């Protein structure tokens, strides 16, 4: 019973007629064609996908540069500390009595 | 030299217009050539030849008369503006159907996007509720209207490729080979798409109308 009902629904489009376009379709179209200016081809680097990708790459480069710079600063601080301790160990400091 | 070309062009235009106005039957090749020369009469002829097919396909796909008319107009504007790139060996019928299907799919995608972002934009007071209404296709036989409305409703949940194949087959009555040409796939792939579409529709009808 249920399957028969489903079959009937599935067959409901059989033998349907093609719908005609609305009245004045062609005249409205020709009028629109004259009014609507031809859209210029969008420049490829202004496409949203390209802009988003470019922004993502710039952000990534920024993050990489920031992390690298902070690593270098840490290394510099460590290096300075090592030099100072070396100088103290060998009494090479400028403070002389 | 320039005036010769202008005169020749004017002569061709007059000949074409006379041919079209006298009801002379042009071949598809001649019609395309005239439309490529931006002949308005030839373009009107082309629109008359294809408008019902384009509108009917769009209506089956988007299930909204005003939107279908808008899409059909956009299709012909696209045809007019890009017919210069059309290769005459290709089939005009297939080309126009392909533009129609692509435009309809763009419309459906933007509608899905709007729905997805509707929740967010509703916070800002933008009303996105388009309402899900039963679609009454004017071409369906009177005694089948109610069943067809149910079928059209569940068709909205089909994946786009299955929906396209189903509409081209059932609403537009194209053969498997014609659908294959429009979608640029093999006939076997069309057969498989339609089988899956029918299976999914049966399942969805069962769930929606008989398991509630």
Q: Is B148 helix (H, G, I), strand (E, B) or coil?
A: helix
Q: How far is CA A89 from the centre of its chain?
A: 55
Question: B92-137 pLDDT, tens per residue?
Answer: 999 999 999 999 999 999 888 887 777 676 666 665 555 556 788 8
DSSP label of B38: T
Show Cβ contacts of residue B138 under 8 Å, excluding neighbours closer than 6 positions.
A19
Q: Residue B2: how many CA atoms within 13 Å on its side-chain side?
A: 0
Give the integer Cα–Cα distance in Å for B192 and A10: 17
Express each pLDDT in B5-64 by its tens digit: 445 444 444 445 555 555 556 788 888 888 888 888 999 999 999 999 999 999 999 999
Count of pairs with CB atoms under 8 A, one residue in A, one in B: 90
Domain boundaries, given as residue ranges, for chain A: 2-89
Q: Which residues of chain B neighbour A17 with C-beta distances below 8 Å? A: 139
Residue of B nearest to A10 (CA): B151
Contact B130, B172 (CB under 8 A): no
Q: What is the secondary structure of chain A as a DSSP string?
A: -HHHHHHHHHGGGTTPPPPPPPTTHHHHHHHHHHHSPPPPPPPGGGSHHHHHHHHHHHHHHHHHHHHHHHHHHHHHHHHHHHHHHHHHHTT-SS---
Q: pLDDT tens for residues A29-39?
A: 999 988 877 66
* ∠ CA B92-B63-B186, rounded to 5°: 45
B89 versus A54: which is more confidently predicted? A54
Q: What are phi and psi of B124, to 5 degrees?
A: -95, 15
**What is the DSSP code (8-state) at residue B157?**
T
Contact A10, B53 (CB under 8 A): no
Q: What is the pTM of this model?
A: 0.72
pLDDT for A40-78, tens place per residue? Answer: 666 677 788 888 999 999 999 999 999 888 777 777 777
Q: Percent of chain B at pLDDT above 90?
A: 56
Q: Provide the mean pLDDT of chain B.
A: 84
Out of A2, A18, A33, name the one closest to residue B77 (CB): A33
Local structure of B86: helix, strand or coil: coil
Q: Specify burial of residue B167 (Cβ count, 10 A radius: 0-12, 13-18, 19+).
A: buried
Q: How far apart are CA B44 and CA A31, in angstroms?
A: 12
Chain B residues contacting A, CB < 8 Å? 40, 43-44, 47-48, 51-56, 59, 65, 69, 72-73, 76-77, 80-81, 137-141, 144, 147-148, 150-151, 170-173, 198, 201-202, 205-206, 209-210
> Which among B40, B43, B140 has CB closest to A16?
B140
Q: Which two tokens stand for residue A46?
A: 């202004």
Cα of A55 to nearest chain B Cα, Å: 22
Name the residue with tokens 């373009």.
B43
* CB atoms A13 and B59 under 8 Å: no
CB A17 within 8 A of CB B173: no
In order of start, what are the domains of chain B with their CATH numbers? Answer: 1-131 (1.10.1740.10), 134-212 (1.10.10.10)
Q: Is the ipTM of this complex over 0.90?
A: no
Task: Choose among B77, B151, B173: nearest Cβ to A36.
Answer: B77
């Amino acid at each position: 019973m249920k399957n028969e009902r489903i079959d009937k629904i599935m067959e409901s489009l059989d033998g349907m007629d093609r719908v005609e376009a609305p009245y004045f379709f062609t005249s409205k179209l020709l009028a629109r064609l004259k009014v609507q200016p031809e859209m210029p081809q969008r420049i490829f680097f202004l496409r949203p996908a390209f802009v988003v990708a470019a922004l993502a790459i710039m952000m990534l480069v920024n993050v990489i540069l920031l992390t690298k710079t902070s690593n270098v600063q840490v290394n510099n601080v460590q290096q300075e500390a090592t030099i100072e301790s070396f100088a103290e160990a060998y009494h090479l400091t400028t403070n002389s009595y | 030299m320039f005036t010769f070309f202008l005169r020749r062009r004017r002569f061709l235009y007059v000949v074409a217009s006379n041919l079209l106005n006298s009801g002379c039957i042009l071949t598809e090749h001649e019609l395309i050539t005239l439309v490529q020369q931006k002949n308005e009469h030839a373009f009107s002829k082309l629109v008359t030849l294809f408008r019902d097919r384009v509108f009917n396909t769009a209506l089956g796909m988007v299930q909204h008369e005003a939107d279908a008319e808008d899409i059909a107009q956009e299709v012909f504007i696209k045809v007019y503006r890009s017919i210069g790139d059309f290769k005459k060996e290709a089939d005009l019928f297939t080309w126009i159907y392909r533009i129609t299907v692509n435009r309809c799919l763009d419309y459906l995608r933007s509608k899905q996007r709007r729905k997805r972002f509707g929740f967010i934009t509703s916070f800002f007071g933008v009303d996105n509720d388009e309402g899900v209404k039963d679609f009454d296709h004017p071409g369906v036989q009177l005694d089948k209207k109610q069943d067809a409305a149910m079928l059209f409703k569940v068709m909205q949940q089909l994946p786009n490729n299955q929906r396209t194949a189903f509409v081209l087959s059932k609403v537009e009555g194209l053969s498997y080979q014609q659908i294959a040409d429009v979608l640029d796939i093999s006939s076997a792939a069309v057969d498989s798409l339609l089988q899956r579409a029918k299976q999914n529709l049966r399942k969805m009808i069962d769930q929606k109308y008989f398991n509630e």
